Amino acid sequence: MRVHIVGTGLLGTSLGLALTGAGHAVTLADLSPTAQRLAADLGAGTVGEPEATDVVIVATPPDVAGQAILTALERFPEATVTDVASVKTVLLHEVRAACAAGDLDRYIGSHPMAGREKSGAIAARDDLFVGRPWVVCSDDDTPAERLAQIVALATDVGAAVVHLDPEFHDSSVARVSHAPQVMASLMAAQLVDMPADGVALAGQGLRDVTRIAASDASLWTQILAGNAAEVRDVLTAIRTDLDTLISALDLEPGSIATIAQTITAGNDGYDRIPGKHGQAPQKYAEITVLIDDTPGMLGKLFADVGELGINIEDIRIEHATGVKLGSVEVAVVPARQRELEEGLTSRGWWVPEAVIEHEGQE
Amino acid sequence: MRVHIVGTGLLGTSLGLALTGAGHAVTLADLSPTAQRLAADLGAGTVGEPEATDVVIVATPPDVAGQAILTALERFPEATVTDVASVKTVLLHEVRAACAAGDLDRYIGSHPMAGREKSGAIAARDDLFVGRPWVVCSDDDTPAERLAQIVALATDVGAAVVHLDPEFHDSSVARVSHAPQVMASLMAAQLVDMPADGVALAGQGLRDVTRIAASDASLWTQILAGNAAEVRDVLTAIRTDLDTLISALDLEPGSIATIAQTITAGNDGYDRIPGKHGQAPQKYAEITVLIDDTPGMLGKLFADVGELGINIEDIRIEHATGVKLGSVEVAVVPARQRELEEGLTSRGWWVPEAVIEHEGQE
């Protein structure tokens, strides 16, 4: 296919690299001559706007994507146009309101769910999309052959295609991505004015809840603003629950049940998160191994686990404050737990299976 | 020392095992004859109330700990009395209000920050406290020799002693432990009524934010109720910030700056969380390795890292929806990043360093 990419930042350049590698003829355009030249030098395609193209991928910053899509629909009257922005409804409305009659069917929104902590063409990778979900927003009016073009490109870069309508997409990411970002940020903000001695009591629970609070503020401001209505809906629902809990903390009669319901509702919601590879949620057995914190110890540990023929489903490393000792939690299917414990113990590992923190009185 | 333990659940029995192992003479008491007998059978000590003892450790459920401390102060007029509850101020007030004159100096509150996902004597481990913080709440009136007794016991079970006053302790754990639990639970509760197709878009960000939402509801209800005033203070501050953000999501003039401030305040708070071993926070470099999800692959990977002589600071395994491929993020000190990437690549590993999610447009 002939693919024209508008915007040669991280995502656009990564797409150029991956699609060029898959044999497509890629052209590149960016408002910055330096950026488009850099992307071309890296091997992402050829600089310049072609006479005609099969597909245009708009990979600009989210706040100018709508205009870029409209420009592409007008400039390439035969092409299918997609984009990579993480909020879809606002863009669709913008395109629908302004595009020429009949052109709307040529626009198919995408959201490849991949990113990096760095930005710009220089950070691009041809395998950025491998194994990541790629949401495609089409509807009943979308011509099958145009939809097939987008699916083919997503598949060619190694992504797993997921078909969703834009409202459902935006509502879902508000809940599984945007609201969690807000909750992490709000929680972390409470640490700013704490004495260091108090923050020093932080355990793995706080670290997990606030990890994404380290995210890029400029990108997330655009994302939250772009999905403002949906995010506000979730946050308003959370505020209602928060108000209920705050009231219950006066410990008046009936309040203990309210506090308990807050925690059990969280238990129920947590259980809905799918496990690995999109399977139904599975409970893994966790065993804890205490190790000296020196190079090679983890290698030795996992080599021993490998020799036992047991697949590790998840790992968490925990470091206690003030102690030169690490604990490693290894999650395996419950049927293999006993075998793993015995096998590691017999190989000389210290397996207390006892330092699991998140249920403890941390 | 002669140590009498009141309450032979998980913590009491684990303490009995560890202190017996360290050479102390431990006696055990529990309202349940079966529970105290089980603890003794496991090797945690001898059943029965002694004539006299040096230290009493109250390890009952938090909601009856106050009465148990008062009883111990009365029954053992020479002994030092401590407890293991995770909220200290309420207990101190209860003891102060009711204990005999002069007895208050014999009470020194403790909070060993350890736990398990299981409960009861049968789940006890003699190494439950190894490498964990053990908060000791004393004040200027605390006799040095009594304080030394508690510090000695905490040290003997392998814990790292931290001296804090009870108000500071309760205020700190409200922020680093109790409020994070609430935020995780509130977030997870929003998933209860979501369509499965939407929850399927969940990435590592949501998983991290909600991991502790799986915690035990009964235990956490006691903890939140026991520290209600401090928890309410933090949650009220969070609600103020949440209200500000919800208002900003109307996108009126000035609102974009407010949204950005929410995220940057979270950046600042996150930066205050100490790194491993109580050191100052350190930024690690993360590299990503894509692996087949089969037994032994992780072992092979970490064996190779070990051969390179590089210490792994942290690990995260991520599973993409619908793809039989795992990505492993390995955190190392930045100075070793390049060496690790090159070493692993030369050994045939697929190192895209590209699937880092938490800054992405997930």
**What ipTM was predicted for this assembly?**
0.76
Measured CA to CA, the distance from residue B310 to residue B342 in angstroms comes to: 12
B356 pLDDT more than 60: no
- Residue of A177, A217, A299 lying closest to B206 (CB–CB): A177
Q: Do B228 and A249 touch (CB under 8 A)?
A: yes
Q: Do B303 and A305 touch (CB under 8 A)?
A: no
A198 touches chain B (CB under 8 A): yes
The fourth-level CATH superfamily of domain A2-164 is NAD(P)-binding Rossmann-like Domain (3.40.50.720)
Q: Do A180 and B206 touch (CB under 8 A)?
A: yes
Q: Do B185 and A263 touch (CB under 8 A)?
A: yes
Instruction: State how far the alpha carbon of B225 is from the alpha carbons of A247, B83, B108, B110, B217, in Å.
Output: 12, 18, 22, 19, 12
Measured CA to CA, the distance from residue B130 to residue B128 in angstroms comes to: 6
Mean pLDDT rounded to a whole number for chain A: 87
Domain limits, CATH 1.10.3660.10, in chain A:
169-270
- Helix axis angle, A228-248 relative to B179-189, nearest 10°? 130
Measured CA to CA, the distance from residue B68 to residue B74 in angstroms comes to: 10
Q: Higher-confidence residue: B276 or B39?
A: B39
CA distance B140 to chain A (A): 19
Among the residue ranges A216-225, A271-280, B166-175, the one predicted with the least confidence is A271-280
- Helix axis angle, B217-226 relative to B228-248, nearest 10°? 100
Look up residue A49 and give its two tokens.
């706007």
Please give the pLDDT value at position B284: 72
Q: Which of residues 77-136 of B touch A (CB under 8 A)?
A: 85-86, 111, 113-117, 125, 127-128, 130-133, 135
A358 pLDDT more than 60: no
Residue B249 backbone phi and psi in degrees, to 5:
-75, 0
Residues of chain B with C-beta less than 8 angstroms from the C-beta of A241: 186, 189
CA distance B246 to chain A (A): 6
Please give the pLDDT value at position B353: 47
Indicate the pLDDT class of residue B282, thresholds 50, 70 and 90.
Answer: low
Residues of chain A with C-beta less than 8 angstroms from the C-beta of B300: 303, 306
Mean pLDDT rounded to a whole number for chain B: 87
A171 touches chain B (CB under 8 A): yes
Please give the pLDDT value at position A30: 96
**CB burial of residue A231 (10 Å; 0-12, 13-18, 19+):** buried
Please give the pLDDT value at position B6: 98
Taking a C-beta distance cutoff of 8 angstroms, is the pair A280, A317 a contact?
Answer: no
| pLDDT single digits (tens) B57-94 | 999 988 899 999 999 999 999 999 999 998 999 999 99
B171 touches chain A (CB under 8 A): yes
Give the position of tokens 């994302």: A223
Domain limits, CATH 3.30.70.260, in chain A:
285-346
Domain B285-346 has CATH 3.30.470.30: no
Among the listed residues B64, B58, B71, the one whose alpha carbon sits nearest the alpha carbon of residue B99: B71
| pLDDT single digits (tens) A290-332 | 777 666 777 778 778 878 878 777 777 765 544 456 677 788 8
Among the residue ranges A37-46, A88-97, B282-291, B336-345, the one predicted with the least confidence is B282-291
The one-character DSSP state at B279 is: P
In this structure, the number of other CB atoms found within 10 A of the CB of residue A101 comes to 5
Please give the pLDDT value at position A319: 55
**CB burial of residue B22 (10 Å; 0-12, 13-18, 19+):** middle
Question: Could you give the residue ranges of the DSSP H alpha helices within chain B?
Answer: 10-21, 33-41, 65-75, 89-98, 144-156, 166-173, 179-189, 196-199, 204-210, 217-226, 228-248, 255-270, 297-307, 337-346
- Residue of A14, A270, A353 lying closest to B188 (CB–CB): A270
SS3 A292: strand
Residues of chain B with C-beta less than 8 angstroms from the C-beta of A240: none
Please give the pLDDT value at position B355: 32
Residues of chain A with C-beta less than 8 angstroms from the C-beta of B236: 246
Mutate to test the interface with B, among A185, A197, A241, A344 (most CBs of B within 10 A): A185
CA distance A95 to chain B (A): 20
- Average pLDDT on B100-121 reads 85
Helices then strands, counting H and E runs in chain B, come out as 14, 11
Which is it for the CA torsion B46, B51, B54, B55, positive or negative? positive
The CATH class given to the B169-270 domain equals mainly alpha
Q: Which amino acid would we find at residue A246?
A: I
Measured CA to CA, the distance from residue A104 to residue B146 in angstroms comes to: 79
B273 touches chain A (CB under 8 A): yes
Taking a C-beta distance cutoff of 8 angstroms, is the pair B14, B22 a contact?
Answer: no
Taking a C-beta distance cutoff of 8 angstroms, is the pair B301, B349 a contact?
Answer: yes
- Helix axis angle, B255-270 relative to B228-248, nearest 10°? 140
SS3 A164: coil
Helix (H) or strand (E) holding A27: strand A25-29
Q: Do B297 and A304 touch (CB under 8 A)?
A: no
Count how many residues are written for chain B: 362
CA distance B69 to chain A (A): 19
Q: Which of residues 319-348 of B touch A (CB under 8 A)?
A: 319-327
Please give the pLDDT value at position A282: 52
Measured CA to CA, the distance from residue A116 to residue A119 in angstroms comes to: 7
Measured CA to CA, the distance from residue B166 to residue B277 in angstroms comes to: 24
B241 touches chain A (CB under 8 A): yes
Residue A200 backbone phi and psi in degrees, to 5:
-65, -20
A195 pLDDT more than 60: yes
Mutate to test the interface with A, among B111, B185, B231, B311 (most CBs of A within 10 A): B185
CA distance B259 to chain A (A): 6
A274 touches chain B (CB under 8 A): yes
For residue B193, give every residue at least 6 positions away whose Cβ sits within 8 Å of its Cβ, in sequence order, or none.
none
Mutate to test the interface with A, among B155, B176, B325 (most CBs of A within 10 A): B176
Among the listed residues A42, A98, A116, A160, the one whose alpha carbon sits nearest the alpha carbon of residue B353: A116
- Residue of A198, A255, A272 lying closest to B172 (CB–CB): A198
Please give the pLDDT value at position A293: 67
Q: Which residues pair with A328 in a beta bridge?
A: A289, A317
Look up residue B171 and give its two tokens.
């205020």
Q: Do B296 and A307 touch (CB under 8 A)?
A: yes
- Residue of A183, A236, A273 lying closest to B246 (CB–CB): A236
Helix (H) or strand (E) holding A252: none
Please give the pLDDT value at position A25: 98
For A273-295, letters b (16+ CB in 10 Å) and e give: bbbbeeeeeeebbbbbbbbebeb
Q: Higher-confidence residue: B51 or B314?
A: B51
- Average pLDDT on B179-190 reads 98
Measured CA to CA, the distance from residue A212 to residue A216 in angstroms comes to: 9
Among the listed residues B124, B142, B106, the one whose alpha carbon sits nearest the alpha carbon of residue B43: B124
Q: Which of residues 33-72 of B touch A (CB under 8 A)?
A: none
Q: Do B315 and A315 touch (CB under 8 A)?
A: yes
CA distance A177 to chain B (A): 6
Domain limits, CATH 3.40.50.720, in chain A:
2-164
Q: Do A201 and B135 touch (CB under 8 A)?
A: yes
Please give the pLDDT value at position A204: 79
Taking a C-beta distance cutoff of 8 angstroms, is the pair B195, A169 a contact?
Answer: no
The sheet carrying B285-292 orders its strands as: B285-292, B325-332, B314-319
Taking a C-beta distance cutoff of 8 angstroms, is the pair B307, A349 a contact?
Answer: no
